[in-house]
Amino acid sequence: MAGKRILSGIQPSGTLHIGNYFGMMRQAIALQNRGDDCYYFIANYHAMTSMPEPEALRERSFGVAVDFLAAGLDPEKSVFFRQSDVPEVLELTWILSCLCPMGLLERCHSYKDKLAHGMEANHGLFAYPALMAADILLYNSHLVPVGKDQKQHLEVTRDLAIRFNNHFGEILTIPDAYIHEDVAVIPGLDGQKMSKSYNNTIELYGEGKAIRKKFMSIVTDSTPMGEPMDPDRCSIVALYKLMASEEELEELRKNYRENPEFGYGHAKQKLYEKYLEYFAPMRERRAKLLANPQLVEDILQDGARRARLVARATMEKVRNAVGL
């Protein structure tokens, strides 16, 4: 896979949580460090489907940039930018929309899921896959890291690229999905998938009493103190596994099975301490970035400049092909 162009985006929909980190960000950072040509963007156009307040959208977009950089994204190794700083993506979205059958969008389960969770229906939410396709195709992306829940949207992207190429010539690169089979569902405080939609998240850079209280509120079964606990069916162990060494994990599992003086309260405390230790270097980097917002903005602007070089070249071919 080395040498392929990889593209991925993250929405500025609120405070990032450890599910974002272990589900997407850690893999993105690993890919940049193996020599792939990585393009990562802050999907602020996508975030507008829920129409956040303007200042909130700006703050969240900046916050995502800081948090991603603090987590280890290297702007020397990756092209990192705000989606809205490359306006060519909207022109390509429109052109792809004109090729997109309504039935293709109507079959997308993500739209139905969001409506089921109370989001108001709007055209942006419905046409989200067309914008996602433009994000991917604009940069001639070969691979797109996606979760299993986003695989259908990538199939829409492939379908639209094939339709375009069949109609106008071989111009757009047909991308493939890169699905992280080794990334399990990250459990939230209530045992469901960690998601802001479920209000069950653990903030990526939380500190103080409030974040410890969250760890102590993780839902467990009713096994009484003194009886063996099952480490294979416990959210605490599943989260600890993401941050701990094999030896540390085995020690925790042994305590679950064999130590009558070890209960869920002790396990939650160990998880909390491991969380503080694991993310401590990132919190330090984050504090330095927050103290220098112009550096963050400069990184995003340089990323947008580099991204637009590719975007403009793609759109020159697309515009000529479609007769604009």
DSSP state of 203: B
Kindly name the residue from 4, 77, 112, 193 that is annotated as catalytic: 193
Q: Can you read off the two tokens belonging to residue 207?
A: 């500190």
**Residue (of 121, 135, 154) closest to 42 by Cα position:** 135
The verdict on whether 114 is a catalytic residue reads yes
What order do you get walking across the sheet with 5-10 strand by strand?
78-82, 37-42, 5-10, 143-146, 176-179
Kindly name the residue from 4, 77, 196, 241 that is annotated as catalytic: 196
| Strand bridging mode 176-179 / 37-42 | unpaired
The verdict on whether 4 is a catalytic residue reads no
**Residue (of 303, 296, 251, 295) closest to 274 by Cα position:** 251
Residue-by-residue DSSP string for 16-70: -BHHHIIIIIHHHHHHHTTT-EEEEEE-HHHHGGG---HHHHHHHHHHHHHHHHH
The verdict on whether 196 is a catalytic residue reads yes
**Residue (of 151, 160, 91) closest to 319 by Cα position:** 91
Kindly name the residue from 114, 214, 268, 274 that is annotated as catalytic: 114
Cα distances (Å, whole numbers) of residue 144 to 45, 179, 286: 18, 8, 27
Catalytic residues: 114, 193, 196
